[in-house]
Structure formats: structure tokens, C-alpha cells
A and B are shown apart, each in its own frame.
Chain A
Amino acid sequence: MKSAPHYHRQLFLTILLVCGLAALIGRFYLLQIRWHDDIAAEADKFSRTRRLIQPWRGEIRDRNSQPLAWSVPVVDVYANLVVCKDHVESVARVAGPFLGVEHRRLLKSMYEGLLPMDGGPKDAVILKRNVSIPEWESLRNALTNSNFGMDVERLSRRERAALTSLRKHALFVRETQMREYLTGDSLQHVIGAVMCSPGRLTPEGHGGIELRFNELLSGKPGYCFSRKSARGEELLFQRYEHAAPVNGSSIDLTIDFNIQRIAEAALGDAMDRTGAKSGAIVIMDPTTGEVLALACLPAFDLRNPHAAPVDWWRHHPVSTQYEPGSTFKLITLVAALDLGLVSLDHRVNCERGYWARVKLHDHKAFGIQTLRDAFGNSSDVGLAKIAFVIGPERLYHCVTNFGFDRATGIALPGEPAGYVPHWTNWAVHDNHLLARVAFGQGLRVTQLQMTVAYCAAVNGGQLVRPLLVRQIENADGEVVQTANPTIIRRVIRPETSALAREALAVVTRPGYTGWRANLNYWTCGGKTSTAQKSTTKGYISGALYCGFIGHAPADKPRMVISVAFDEPRNGSPSGGAIAAPVFKDVAEAVLAYLGVPPDKLPDSDRRGLQLAGSGAGRGNKPAHAMQ
């Protein structure tokens, strides 16, 4: 054996060590040069994060720039289940009163989050959405000062750490926004509710303008790309791309909030009085087509739409189709007048209430009348005869000209096209459809379609598109788009329109069906309707649809008001008895509000001029504007 020192052994070990270290250089070469691109791409996946920056949702205003709906900052409160796993009950007990939720309910959602179901035990569950900032502040203070049922005096180190993290991290929030409304009980269907869909983080419109212009209102979300830590926290100083959000545009409606309130107050009273299933008022400017008010009852709460039954979410004047009934006689009359087939002074035989040829009943027995009176009395027989004079093809074309076969194009979701059977099919129905179309049966329209057609009939014969949105401003307050009145087509001649206004004025005269609509200080015109509701099996007995469409003043209409009630229960169910007085109340208040000069003396002042027993005195108490 060779004796010490063993230089060769030392040399060998040293060289071995140096070779080992040199081999590491090769390893570094592989990792950092050869495989660099793949590894860098893989590493990037772990550290990249994208955060959505919510844009501020735009306002909805009325035509006077009065904000109706706007956004306020709120927070969504979440429970951090990782932290409060073992203290769920005490956390729920602390948070419950501040969130205004029963603590058992909180407990339930937290326990459900802890269950290994639906994607396993979750890290966090949402406790409540849309908590205002002061509420959250007070809740956080309460959490910081709470002991969570522990005895602070005697705690082990571990328990103390748990208590500290509970106080700090038990609940956390996500900042978001909530819709605030001028009044929650007004214009619900037009504005529409804004909610977060499950699984979405940005609030979305779920009805009305909010849904239709959701993209515009919600704006464009901003993104920022940055690095994150292993816990998923964004590292602000490692942000490498940032796209600022574009805030939502604001929308000015054509609706005048004051007129809307007038309409809603009158409608509410009338709903109470009549006990109808639903009611609606549409107020339009006939010349421009601007919708001044759009009231619909019953309505839901905009802040909590789910509290109301789903039926109440339906926007009846825009979405619900019904058989128009007598209001549609206006179209028949106008068609005949425009074609020059009849004049208002032509006489028509109303067959004493029953026309055997087409098995048609009138609500009252009328003899031979001028067309003006037959229209004023709403004689089905008289108008059916006019329809036979016009003929199915020409009547059909007139009806479609008035836009009953398609949607009006108002900026609201859920508007159906009308249903008008083609004239070639009119004869195949067992009951002669030509006669029934003449007084508004056998076709389905919406209240808005009917109102728009009425506007065309009284405004000089031009069919206008109903306007709901007046202008759109972007987030900087610049007007991006202004809606101009759109004339779709000329439907009738202006002279015919004048005749139509004359015939409509007759209806509201004392003694005719719409006498209750007669205004005190303004001339007006209108048409009642009392329609039976139909199903596929036929007409339902006792289910009526009572409406009235009128305009004022009579010669130069400033507005068209359409009132409709679905299945009123109290009082005599007819358009003249139920809807016409509402028209009168609303019209007087609105005309006073618009400052339209009175063009007539009150009826009481010229009582001597009136025929005795015409019934004009009964309904004509001096009306005050309902404000």
C-alpha cells in the first residue's frame, strides 16, 4: 500500500468535482439556450393575468335631460372560505345583520360552497350583491372588531393567527356598479332591469332600453395584462399592457318624465277603479312620432324584478297582440275616404242592429245613418258595409300600408310583427273575414301599432316611425347621434286625414260613444274600442279589451293618447266607459303641461247650446290636471 500523502486520490476527487460542476454548465446550456423558447412560453402561462376593467354604464335620461337611470359604485361581498372554513357560523352571525340577510341564509350558501359538489369545495362564495360602500365599511369595521365567538384572553398562537386572518380576510369584495333610478316605480318596462347574469361579471340590461342598447350603454371594457404572483394576485408594477375602458354612452329618451308621471298616475287610479288585469297608456306626438309617455301596469320593481310575477315583466303596449276592435274602424273609414268611394255624409243602412247576410250584431240598433254618425256610434254593420264597398284587396293594401303587418320599429325589444291574414284567404273563413276586419276582428295588432296608425290617420297622412330615443351622447358628453323624425311613407292624402279628424271628433261629441273623453277646454277626437279577446278556440265570453285612442286638439293634433285596459272587471266594460275618462284626465293635464292654448269654451258655459238629454252633463265635471 502506498503511504500518505495520496496525491493521486486528491487529484482524482478534485477533477471529479470540477467535471461535475462543468457538467452543470451543459445543463444550463440546455435549459437556457436550447430549450429557452419552449420554457419561456410555458413560464409565461403561469405568470400572465388579464384583468377586466369595467366601463361605467351610461345614463338614461328623459327628453329634458333629467336622468332616469344611472350607475353608482357598489360592491359584491364574498366570503373567503379558505379563511373562514372552520368559523362559518360565527362569520355568518357577524355579517348577517350588516348585509340585511338572515344569517341562516348566509350559512347555507357558505356550507354549499364547502360541499364537494358542483366543482368541489370552492375558495369563495358570493354572499350578497350590490352592497353600498358605507354598508361595506361598517361591515368591515364590525369584522375587524369582532371576536368571532372566541375568548380573546386565552388563545393559542395558532388560534390567534386564525382570528387575525379572519378579521382581515374573512370577507372580501369586488367593486362593481349598480343602477340607481329617479323613481323605482316609473317607466319600468321602458328602462328595463339591469342584472348580472350568472357567470358574468358585468351587469347587463335584461329588458327595455337597457337590453336594446346594452352594447352602447355598457361601453367597452378595458383590459390590463400584467404579471401575477403565485397566489394569483396581480402585480401592479409588472403591468405590460393597458387598454382603458370606454365608458358607456348616455341615451336621451323622447319620453317626458312629467307627462309620464301624469299618465302613470291616471293609469294607476284607473287600474284601481276598474280592477283590470293590465293597462297601458301610450302618448305620442303624431307629427314627429316621438313617444312622450309609455306607461304600463302592473309593473315590477326595477331594483328587484324577481319579486314580481313574470307576467308583470311583459310590456303590453309593445309586445302584446290583441284584436283591436272598434278602433280599427278608423282604418276602414279612412281607406274608403281615401279611395273616394264614400264621403262622411253618405248614408248607410245599419239594418236595425242585425245584418243577417254576415250574421253581424251591433251593440245598439241603428237605422239609416250618415257614415259620420255610424262611425260615431261605432256601428259594426255600417263599417262592414263600407268594407264591402272597398273590397278585400284594397282594404288589405290599406291595412298593410298603415303598417299593421310589420313591427313599428320602436327601439324596444320584444316587438312582434302584426298578424294580418292575406286578403286571398279572407273568404275561406267561415265567418266572412272582410266584414270582421272592417271593425277590427280577425287580425292581431299591438297597441303601439294601433297608435302609430292613428297618428298617420290624423297627422296629415304620413306614417311615422315611433321614436323613443332622442339622442345618444358618448361618455365625453358629445352628441353622437340624434334621432330625426322618420316618415316611412305617405298612407293617405291630407284631405282624407282632415276628414278622418272630423269623423273622430264626432265620436267624442256628446251623445256618441266617446262622449266621456270630451275635454273641457280643448277640442279633441278619438275612437273607443271594446274588443272581445280571442283564443284559438274562439272568443272568450266576458273577457274584453277596452281601449280608447284619441288626439287633441282636434284640428292640429299635438298628441295622440292611447289608453287600453285588459279585462276590466268593475263597471260597464266598454272603451267609452272605462278608457275614455282616463284619456280625458290625461289629455287635459298634458295639454296644460305643454301649454297648448285652449281652443274651446267649457261645455258648462255653453250648456244652452246643447241638446237636452244628450248626456253631456253627466261626465263633464270640470277636470283638474292630475299632478
Chain B
Amino acid sequence: MKREVAVILFSVGTLAVTGALTMNSLTITHPTPSLLYNHIAYIGLGFAALGIGNLIDYRWLNRWRVPNALLVVALTLLVLVLVPGIGTEKNHARRWLLFFQPSEFAKLAIIIWLADYCARNLEFMHLRRVGFTKPVLIGGFTAVLVFGEPDWGTAVLMGLVMTAMLWVAGAPTFHLVSAGMIGIELVAHFLVRNSDKFTRILVFLDPWKFADGDGWQIVHSLLAIGSGGLLGKFIGDGTHKFGFVPEQRTDFVMSAIGEELGFVGCVLVVLLFVNIVVAGARIAWRMADPFARFLAFGITFLIGTQAFINIGVATSCLPNKGIPLPFVSYGGSNMVVALAGIGLLVNLARYAPLVPVPELPKTERKAAAESAPVFIARRSGTCACPACKARNWFPGKLCWIYKTSANESALRPWQRAPMRSVRCDT
């Protein structure tokens, strides 16, 4: 899976560089470049998170209670942010807890939790209660909390990702489709009740009609993208960044890229996301561990969908929603969480077996408990090369993670890769 990892890292890096360049040109008139410095710091933090996500033993996430703990933390934060005195309100939305957005963290937490849930109940996912009712209730609760911030875009995104993961894990299609229709009806209900959001739909249908008022943002986003042409006006020469497109740093960063880098740049950005999606899907495909597979698929799907919605909004293919573009937009929480997800993805890629893992016979749970830990993949000492030693130095210090992760892994022994099959990628 070296190739996939290389593709993902190359794409992510290129996107981050593009985002930094765009931020540079967006802040070109600012008296101090503090926003640009912030953005670069976020990228740095994000790559640190990527490293951490890469270095930890992913099976730790699959331990008993860890995904649940993550979910509880995410839910607590989501509830906290809704409390008027604690959450910070900007633009009529209460999304910030001090300096970060819990909804971003919740996206990753719910994916980890759901992957864990699906892996644990893999055999029973086709049952309604296991595959549908329980996860939809819990995930729906999370999404509703996000929805109430209000952050409709992230809520819809979480709903999409959760549905996709459940479906891939084997949840009954009929129930998912029914629930999806109910969800659509609910959203439509709130839309009609909420005139602000309903205007967004009207604006989406005919932006030029509302060009002076509510359609200003989307119209100028289109003008910015369209005026870029084939090759764009070059970095820094765009004129729409001078207040014409509100939120150009975050949700409409694509308009800045479209204006300054042109068609070529836009296609490049889209293709980089396609790269990430395809590589991530290939990694997920090759995972022997169901948890790892669902996790990889969830992260990949999250990033792809988020990119699709963001670019679709900027080009007026979708109604207006506030979702940042991963790796490119300004915003620390999103950057760190997305890059941490990529870190996990890269981490998972290392566990792809050299040969496809054969379907193992279903065994009794009891037999699993009795089976000796012969097949436990010992990560440290697998390879004595200096790179492995260096890599294992820090986890070795955090020995409780390191030691227990192997022993208490949720992986059934027969699900683990045999000793020889683990490849050292370092």
C-alpha cells in the first residue's frame, strides 16, 4: 500500500500548499499577516496530528470503551457548546468552544465509534435493531446536536457519512432509505419554517435574482470563478478577495482558487481530492480488519463528501452550506481533524496484508477466548531496523498504550494478521 500512501500524502500536501498560497493572496491587503501565520500554524498542527494518527496503534481505538469514551467526550463538548455562556457565538451560530469547533471533532469521533460498532456487530448488521435502530439513534442524536448549533452543513455531512458507513457495513437498505427520506422531510420542514435557510434554496434556484441581497455571496463566487478563465489571474492578482465574496477564506475558498489559478487549478484541486478518495477506497478495500476497513472508508468518504459539498456550493451546484474545504480552507479545527484522519488512514494502510486475507471460518466466542495469543501481531521488534526503533521509541515511553493495545485489542485473534504477513513499511 506504499503507492496509495504516497498518493494520499502527495495530494494532501499539495492541497495544503495550495491553501497556504491562497491564504497568502487573500491576506495580501491585510495590515498584518497574522491570518496567514495562523493558517500556517494550523497546517503545522495538522501535520503533527497526522503524525500522531500515524504513530499510534490504531487498535487502541478499537479497544473496549475507547470509542465510547470518544463519543461521550464529543457529545459532552457538543452539549457544552450549546450552553449560552460557554460557546462562542459568531455569525448567529454557536459553534466555537474557546478556539475549536466540537462539531469537527465529533465528525471523527462518530466515525471511529461507528467503525468500532460495525466491526463489533459485523455478523448482526443485517438485523434492524443492530444495523439500523441503535446506530441511527446515537448518530442521529449527535447530528441533531450539531444541527442545533446551528450547523446544518456539518449535520447533513455527518448524516451522509454515517449512512454510507452503515450501508457498507451491511445495514438493511430499506430502513436506511426510509430513514433517509424521513430525514429529508425533516430538513425540508425546518427549511420551510426557517425563512433564512429557505432563502438559500431560492437563491440556489436563481442566484441572479437575489444578486443584490442574499445571492450576493454566491453570485460573486460565480463571478470570481468565471473570471479566472483557463489559467487564472495568477496568485495574488484576483480582485474578488476585496470583500466581494464573504467568507472567502473558509467556505468559498474555491472562488479564490478559481479566480487566481483558473480552470487548470480547479481541475487540479478536484483531481487531488479524487486521488485521495480513490487511494483511501483502495486502502479500505485491502483492510483485513473490519474496524480498519470501516474506519478507512469513513474517513475517505468524509473527506470526499466534504470536498464535493464545498466545491458544489462555491459553484452553485448545491444550496449554500457552511462547510470548509479540507486541507485548504482557513480554520484550525477542520485542518487538524482532517489531517489527523489522513494520519489514521496512512496508519491503517500499513496493516494491509501482502495477500488478501482469506475469509476465516466463524468461530464461537468462547473459542476465541481460549485461543492462545500466538497470532498477536507484535509491533515492536517486528523489525530491528533503526527506523522502526526510532518510530517505536515514543510509544514505548507511553507503555500503557503500547502494551495494552496489543493485549486488549478488539480484534479477535483469528482476525489478526499472522506474524509473517505484517510488513514493515518504514
Contact = CB atoms under 8 A, between A and B. Distances in A.
B225 interface: yes
Contact of B307 (A13, A21, A44): A21
Interface string A17-52: 110111111011101110110111011101100000
Contact of B293 (A2, A3, A5, A29): A5
Interface stretch (B5-13, B91-99, B273-281, B395-403): B273-281
A35 B167 contact: no
Contact of A22 (B274, B312, B315): B274
Given A24-B270, A25-B267, A13 B244 contact: no
B305 A32 contact: no
Nearest to A227: B239
Interface in B364-386: none
B247 interface: no
A38 B305 CA distance: 31
Contacts of B267: 25, 28
A24 B311 contact: yes
B304 interface: yes
B170 interface: yes
A231 interface: yes
Interface of A: 1-7, 9-11, 13-14, 17-18, 20-25, 27-29, 31-33, 35-36, 38-40, 42-44, 46-47, 227-231, 235, 238
Contacts of A18: 274, 277-278, 304
A21 B225 contact: no
B48 interface: no
A17 B301 contact: yes
Given A21-B311, A28-B315, 17 more contacts: A3-B123, A5-B293, A6-B170, A11-B281, A14-B278, A20-B308, A22-B270, A23-B317, A24-B311, A28-B263, A31-B258, A40-B229, A42-B223, A43-B227, A47-B239, A227-B239, A235-B29
B226 interface: yes
Task: Output the residue of A9, A23, A24, A36 with the most chain B CB within 10 A.
Answer: A24
Contacts of B125: 4
B266 A238 contact: no
Contact of A4 (B122, B228, B284, B308): B122
Contacts of B164: 13
Contact of A39 (B223, B262, B263): B223
B169 A4 contact: yes
Given A4-B169, A14-B277, A17-B304, A28 B225 contact: yes
Nearest to A2: B170
Contacts of B229: 32-33, 36, 40
A358 B228 CA distance: 93
Interface in B207-228: 220, 222-228
Contacts of B152: none
Interface string B262-297: 110011001101100110010011000010010001
A24 B169 CA distance: 28
Majority secondary structure, A binding face: helix
B168 interface: yes
B182 interface: no
Contacts of B123: 3-4
A10 B126 contact: no
> Of A11, A35, A46, A227, which is in contact with the most chain B CB atoms at under 10 Å from its CB?
A46
Contact of A21 (B29, B270, B297, B301): B270
B230 A43 contact: no
A5 B290 contact: yes
B413 to A, nearest CB: 19
B247 to A, nearest CB: 13
A230 B229 CA distance: 21
Contacts of B358: none
Interface centre among B169, B226, B230, B285 (most CB of A within 10 A): B226
Contacts of B284: 10
B168 A9 contact: yes
Contacts of A17: 277, 301, 304-305, 308
Contacts of A33: 229-230, 263
Contacts of A3: 123, 126, 170
Contact of B240 (A28, A31, A47): A47
Contacts of A7: 285
14 contacts: A4-B122, A4-B123, A10-B168, A10-B281, A21-B307, A28-B258, A28-B263, A32-B228, A33-B230, A36-B227, A36-B230, A39-B222, A47-B239, A228-B242
B85 interface: no
Contacts of B126: 1, 3
B253 to A, nearest CB: 14
Given A18-B278, A40-B229, A28 B266 contact: yes
Given A9-B167, A17-B305, A32-B262, A46 B222 contact: no
Contacts of B270: 21-22, 24-25, 28
Interface string B299-316: 011001101100110010
A105 B263 CA distance: 57
Nearest to A14: B281
